[in-house]
Every structure is written in C-alpha cells, then in structure tokens.
C-alpha cells in the first residue's frame, strides 16, 4: 500500500506541473493587465509597478520565478488586493468555504445514501418512484434558483433566518449549506439506488439470503458496502469542487469564501490569485482521487494495488 501511495503521489507531480503551466500562460494571453485603470497612469509609475511585480521581465523568466516561489510554498503577492499575499487571502477565505463545504458533504452523504438505499429496497413501487422524482427535481433546480427561493421563503416571508452575511454560527450557515447539499443529496440518492439494486440482484446476496440471514443484516453487512463504491467515486471530484467554494452561493449569501476569488481574480487580472486558486483546486482534486482509490481498496477486498499492480 505504501509503495502504491508513493507511486501515485509521484505521478501527481507532472499533472500538477502541467496544470500550473497551462493556467499560467493562458491567463497571461488575456488582454489587459492588473494595473489597467480608467485613468492612464504616468509612464514612470507604470514602469515602477511593472518592475516591482517583475512584469517587465520576459514571460519565461516570470514563469521560472513563479515556479521557484511556489516550490517554497509562496504563492506570491496579490496584484489586486495590495498588501495582501495570496497565501493570506486563501488562509482567510478557505476556512469559511471548507466549513460550508464539509457540512454540506456530510449532510448530503448521510441523507443521500439512506434515501437511495431505501428507494432501492422498494424498487418499482410508489415510494421508489416518488423519491426518485423528487431527486430529479433536486437535480433540475439550479443552485442560483434554489438559493433565492430559500431566502424568499425562510428569510423574507417567514423571517426565521438571516438572508445573508457570514459568521461561524448555525443560523447563518443553514441556508447556504442546504443550497449546497440539495443537488448532492439528489445525485447521491440516485447513484446509491442504482448500485444498490445491482448489488441486491447479485448471486452472493441470494446465497446469504438462502442461508437465512435476517434482511437487516443482509443489507447492512453485505449489500451496503459494495453499493457505496460508485458513490465514493462521485464524491472525489465533487468534494474538491464543493470545498473550494461555490461562487453562486457565496455571491447570493454574501459569504467571504474562496469561491468568488476565482471569478473576481480573472476579471481583475489578479494573476497570482487566480493561479493560487487553480493550484489549490488541482491539489484537492488529485488528493481526493487518491483517497477515493484507497477507500475503494478498503471497501472492496478484491482490489489490491500492490500485488503485481493489477487494478480491477
């Protein structure tokens, strides 16, 4: 397992390098620069700014400088939020996005799996159809529709919860977390139902049932674990996406997370900030996909990564 892990982490380096290179040159191709403004700056000031941020150097030199900085864990100064480094910005926004994302993930996983398994056990009965239709509605309503609707009902009409703003408190987190979790619940429920049905029709479940094991045991001990495999592989990229924040949810609920850094950074030509978020996202994706593979091996004993390197 250790051997495999090292190999996997080794192969992540070129992927990450590719990602960084691609993103670096792509954003530099975009017209306009971080210090463009309505009012033309005097040429000396522009030259000074360019010199301070090394924008006067050839692109390749800047690229090498950036890589070297990054290897030492420094993502550079922000080009837009003066006096802020990208490390500081991410350190400030990340806990907020992580907290929301994690809460939504846990909620979605708990509800989605239970509902999906429940529907699978009542396959093709009214309960199943009802639950799956509701799940389809959940998938079909985009979060930028769901969020205003939730605000309209719970904040404006009922007045139970605040409409926006941020604090690490229950009442301010409820609506954003629900908005983030709803489509995930729907996806997880659908995936769980599908794989659960497949597992329940497999021959080893028939064997276990024939041996007279109580239905509860059959489901909890034998069916649920393999049925979770597709859910886990969905969760990998989904977790990376949700932990880096949702620009929609952050914008609608006015939450200071890292989701909005992305769009704002690109619009402001804040090169380093955009790169920082891209790198964070890339690292998370690679990390979670790796965790998914490890979880796979744990959930399905047939999968062994080290013996001859066969991956089934």
Partner 1 sequence: MNEATRDAFEQALDTREVRGRSLYVDAWHRLLRNRAAVMAVAILIVMVALVSFGPMLSDWDHEIPDWDNYSQPPSLETGHPFGTDALGRDLFVRTLIGGRISLLVGLVATLVSLLIGVSWGAFAGYVGGRVDNVMMRIVDAVYAMPFMFFVILLMVVFGRNIYLIFIAIGAINWLDMARIVRGQTLSLKNKDFVEAARACGATEWQVIRRHIVPNLLGVVIVYVTLTIPQVILVESFLSFLGLGVQEPLTSWGALVNEGAQELETAPWSLLYPATFLAVTLFAFNFLGDGLRDALDPKDRL
Binding mask 142-181 for partner 1 (x = CB under 8 A): x-xx-xxx-xx---x-------------------------
Check binding of 137 to partner 1 (CB under 8 A): yes
Residue in 257, 95, 93, 249 with CA at minimum distance from that of residue 184: 249
The 10 Å Cβ neighbour count of residue 249 is 26
**Among 31, 43, 58, 308, contact with partner 1 (rule: CB under 8 A):** 31
Give the residue from 248, 253, 299 showing the smallest Cα distance to 262.
248
CB 232 within 8 A of CB 292: yes
Residue 27 in contact with partner 1, rule: CB under 8 A: yes
29 counts as binding partner 1 under rule CB under 8 A: yes
167 to 87, 180, 254: CA distances (angstroms): 22, 17, 11
Q: According to CB under 8 A, which one of 104, 109, 223, 252 is a site residue for partner 1?
A: 252
Task: Determine, following the binding rule CB under 8 A, whether residue 23 of this chain makes contact with partner 1.
Answer: yes
Q: Cα separation of 57 and 102, whole Å?
A: 42
Spatial distance between the Cα atoms of 221 and 4, rounded to a whole number of angstroms:
28
Q: Identify the CA nearest to 148 among candidates 245, 248, 246.
A: 248
CA 92 to chain centre: 18
Stretch that binds partner 1, among 36-44, 78-86, 223-231, 259-267 (CB under 8 A): 259-267
Residue 87 vs 123, nearer CB to partner 1? 123
CB of 104 to partner 1, least distance (A): 18
The footprint of partner 1 (CB under 8 A) covers 15, 18-19, 22-23, 26-27, 29-32, 123, 133, 136-137, 139-142, 144-145, 147-149, 151-152, 156, 197, 201, 244, 247-248, 251-252, 262-263, 266-267, 274, 277-278, 281-282, 285-286
């Amino acid at each position: 397992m250790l051997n495999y892990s090292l190999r996997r982490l080794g192969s992540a380096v070129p992927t990450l390098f590719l990602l960084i290179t691609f993103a670096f040159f792509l954003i530099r191709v975009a017209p306009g620069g971080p210090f463009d403004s309505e009012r033309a700056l005097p040429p000396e000031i522009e030259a000074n700014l360019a010199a301070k941020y090394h924008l006067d150097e050839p692109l390749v030199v800047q690229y090498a400088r950036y890589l070297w900085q990054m290897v030492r864990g420094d993502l550079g100064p922000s080009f837009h939020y003066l006096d802020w480094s990208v490390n500081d910005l991410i350190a400030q926004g990340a806990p907020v996005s992580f907290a929301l994302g994690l809460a939504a993930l846990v909620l979605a996983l708990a509800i989605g799996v239970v509902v999906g398994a429940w529907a699978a056990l009542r396959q093709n009965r009214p309960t199943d159809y009802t639950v799956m239709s509701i799940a389809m509605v959940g998938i079909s309503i985009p979060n930028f529709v769901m969020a205003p609707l939730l605000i309209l009902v719970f904040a404006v009409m009922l007045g139970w919860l605040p409409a926006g703003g941020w604090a690490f408190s229950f009442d301010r987190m409820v609506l954003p977390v629900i908005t983030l979790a709803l489509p995930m619940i729907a996806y997880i429920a659908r995936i769980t139902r599908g794989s659960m049905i497949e597992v329940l029709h497999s021959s080893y479940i028939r064997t276990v049932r024939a041996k007279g094991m109580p239905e509860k045991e059959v489901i909890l001990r034998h069916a649920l674990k393999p049925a979770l495999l597709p859910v886990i592989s969905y969760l990998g990229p989904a977790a990376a996406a949700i932990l880096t924040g949702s620009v929609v949810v952050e914008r609608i609920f006015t939450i200071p997370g890292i989701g909005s850094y992305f769009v704002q950074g690109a619009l402001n030509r804040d090169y380093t900030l955009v790169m920082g978020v891209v790198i964070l996202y890339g690292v998370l994706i690679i990390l979670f996909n790796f965790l998914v593979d490890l979880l796979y091996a744990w959930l399905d004993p047939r999968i062994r990564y080290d013996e001859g390197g066969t991956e089934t």
